[in-house]
Amino acid sequence: MKQTGMLTAASLLTILLMTFHLTDDIVRGMEPGTLSNLIAVPILVVWLYGTLVLAERRSGYVIILLGSLLGLVVPVIHMKGTGVGGAIAKSSGAFFFIWTLLALGVTALFSVILSARALLSLPWRRSRRASTAA
């Protein structure tokens, strides 16, 4: 499979897992179910736009990299003690909550690696011929 195809699939899966995670946080009362949670919508839309519309462009790779770094922070925050221990681990649905965190960490890290690799493989300057021909 082509690297860009893998990056697109991993990024889309990370976006999906982020929505599952935010939903689970709201259902469990870790986040208030208020309008402030809708800030995630434009963030996820920009991430989705970068993944699908700006594919194979520097701006798309940067958006995916930033979104994936955000996705990578979520499991770290929860595993440091905010939400996984105690009542969450013993509640119904704990398996899905923890599985989502782990899967989110895997897909986000994979997306970070692929987007960083894609960014590093791009030429950083235009050739002089291209700029003088214009």
pLDDT digits (tens, 9 = 90+) for 116-133: 999 998 887 666 565 555
Residue pLDDT, tens place only, 28-57: 888 887 888 889 999 999 999 999 999 989
* 64 in Cβ contact with 39 (< 8 Å): no
Tell me how far CA of residue 76 lies from CA of 50, 61, 134, in angstroms. 24, 23, 48
Q: What are the domain boundaries of the chain?
A: 3-122
* pTM given for the model: 0.84
Residue pLDDT, tens place only, 64-86: 999 999 999 999 888 876 556 55
Residue 6: the pLDDT is 94
